[in-house]
């Protein structure tokens, strides 16, 4: 016990007091002098993280939507009230130091960069994420969705967990569209890359849960850092190799760009880098960030969507009839004109993201003094936006806990109480990419299969994302 106390004190000294206490601010039960609530995190494994996080968020909601959770002298203020969330979104653009744990891999990509760096890079990246670029990905989205449908059909089991197949398929898609890397031609290399990404997620979560390793000084001497460095080296080697190959291709011939022509994101960013002065390292950081943020998030959302529709056959039939009305009974590709007509399917995806936001919380740091309700927070205060409970707030109506795509008929396209892709100006740059990819995947799957499942059996877990833990089983029936 004495040794543990020494470790905790060392951590607090290394991390420093990042926020002073705010007078009369309610705090989570169990606070102790010096260590705050750190003792409540001892012994928690990855599968338990969602449990303790949900308990904290629910308690904050019961206390009016503002509550402190203390990591030693450093306070995380949880907010879930819509008005408070809007203030945090507007005035808190800096990312929390927790994001620094991913910097050895992602560097100063859009996800982890400080605000000043983000502003410069985001302007460049906006030039790459255009409607023309997205339309050029239609062929890849369709071929990957067809490939996934075939894999489901060829699966000897009619009742199974689809998450692994969805994750691999979406990683293949993001590799094809972002770095022009074809997993089918380089199966061994792709498998190494897939395993490395899975490992880096697990290693980052381990560091977060072992709060003493959040200190850079202590982490530097840990075995976990050695393991993480080895995995990151593999990830960077692949990224650097692909960048050099694409640069050689671009320099060896002219690119004749036609409307809706497929071009990987890397080609566009490499061309922009000459004009905007991005280094190869910066290009790699952005590509790594896109792959990190693009594949697993989509797979999780598709899993949740299939579970929800499989548990509500009436709504699933409504989606199916819309698909048939728009595309007929053929197996043709989804075209860009079709996407605008698949209105109810888009509402299903939005409602899925409302109930199961992939990033259930967003930590942000204020750069100036901020007043929320009757509390005044100094500059440098850390806020945690509780998107999960915000999406279930009473502003959504008495049926906020229900899966009801029809609610979007009376809502704005993106209400202020809705943030599945982030907070404020630093929202995910790839949200339209994700929506297009998911609509095409679901259109192919649902016109081919009738899905049944039981959402009441679903349990959740959380690392950096919200994920299904168990009970996410579906049964497929081929449609005639």
Annotated binding-site ranges: 428
The two structure tokens encoding residue 105: 């891999």
Contact 391, 85 (CB under 8 A): no
| CA dist list (Å): 12 to 39, 69, 199, 209, 344 | 13, 15, 28, 15, 51
The two structure tokens encoding residue 276: 């905007």
Q: Which residues contact 104 (CB under 8 A, 6 or more apart)?
A: 228, 229, 232
**β-pair type (370-372, 375-377):** antiparallel
DSSP 8-state assignment for residue 395: G
The two structure tokens encoding residue 148: 């996934």
CA–CA separation, 275 vs 52, rounded Å?
48
Instruction: Please report, to the nearest 10 degrees, the dihedral formed by the alpha carbons of residues 391, 394, 399, 401 taken in order.
Output: 40
The two structure tokens encoding residue 330: 């053929």
Q: Which residues contact 396 (CB under 8 A, 6 or more apart)?
A: 354, 407, 417
CA–CA separation, 55 vs 382, rounded Å?
19
Residue among 92, 396, 109 at smallest CA distance from 239: 109
Q: In the structure, how many helices (H) and strands (E) does the chain have?
A: 18, 12
3-state class (DSSP) for residue 174: helix
Known binding site for heme: residues? Answer: 428
């Amino acid at each position: 016990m004495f040794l543990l106390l020494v470790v905790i004190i060392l951590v607090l000294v290394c991390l420093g007091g990042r926020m002073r206490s705010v007078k009369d601010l309610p705090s989570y039960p169990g606070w102790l002098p010096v260590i705050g609530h750190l003792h409540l995190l001892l012994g928690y494994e990855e599968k338990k993280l969602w449990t303790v996080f949900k308990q904290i968020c629910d308690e904050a909601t019961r206390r009016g939507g503002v509550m402190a959770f203390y990591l030693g002298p450093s306070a995380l203020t949880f907010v879930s009230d819509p008005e408070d969330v809007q203030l945090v979104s507007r005035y808190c653009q800096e990312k929390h130091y927790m994001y620094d744990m991913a910097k050895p891999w992602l560097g100063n990509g859009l996800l982890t960069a400080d605000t000043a760096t983000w502003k410069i890079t985001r302007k460049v990246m906006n030039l790459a994420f255009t409607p023309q670029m997205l339309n050029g990905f239609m062929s890849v989205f369709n071929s990957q969705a067809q490939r996934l449908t075939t894999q489901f059909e060829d699966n000897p089991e009619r009742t199974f967990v689809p998450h692994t197949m969805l994750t691999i398929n979406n990683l293949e898609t993001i590799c094809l569209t972002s770095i022009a890397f074809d997993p089918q031609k380089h199966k061994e290399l792709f498998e190494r890359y897939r395993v490395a990404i899975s490992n880096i997620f697990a290693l980052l979560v381990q560091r977060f849960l072992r709060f003493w390793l959040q200190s850079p000084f202590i982490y530097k001497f840990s075995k976990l850092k050695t393991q993480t460095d080895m995995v990151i080296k593999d990830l960077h080697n692949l990224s650097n190799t692909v960048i050099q190959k694409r640069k050689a291709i671009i320099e060896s011939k002219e690119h004749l760009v036609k409307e809706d022509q497929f071009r990987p994101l890397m080609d566009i960013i490499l061309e922009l880098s000459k004009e905007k002065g991005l280094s190869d390292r910066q290009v790699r950081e952005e590509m790594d960030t896109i792959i990190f943020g693009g594949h697993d998030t989509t797979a999780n959302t598709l899993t949740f969507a299939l579970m929800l529709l499989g548990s509500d056959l009436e709504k699933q039939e409504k989606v199916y009839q819309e698909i048939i009305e728009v595309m007929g009974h053929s197996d043709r590709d989804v075209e860009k004109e079709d996407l605008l007509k698949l209105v109810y399917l888009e509402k299903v995806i939005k409602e899925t993201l409302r109930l199961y936001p992939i990033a259930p919380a967003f930590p942000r740091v204020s750069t100036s003094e901020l007043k929320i309700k009757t509390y005044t927070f100094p500059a440098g205060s850390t806020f945690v936006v509780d998107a999960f409970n915000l999406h279930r707030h009473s502003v959504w109506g008495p049926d906020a806990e229900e899966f009801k795509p029809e609610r979007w008929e009376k809502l704005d396209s993106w209400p202020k109480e809705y943030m599945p892709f982030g907070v404020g100006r630093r929202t995910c740059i790839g949200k339209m990419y994700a929506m297009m990819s998911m609509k095409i995947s679901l259109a192919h799957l649902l016109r081919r299969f009738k899905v049944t499942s039981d959402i009441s059996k679903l349990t959740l877990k959380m690392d950096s994302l919200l994920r299904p833990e168990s009970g996410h089983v579906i049964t497929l029936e081929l449609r005639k």
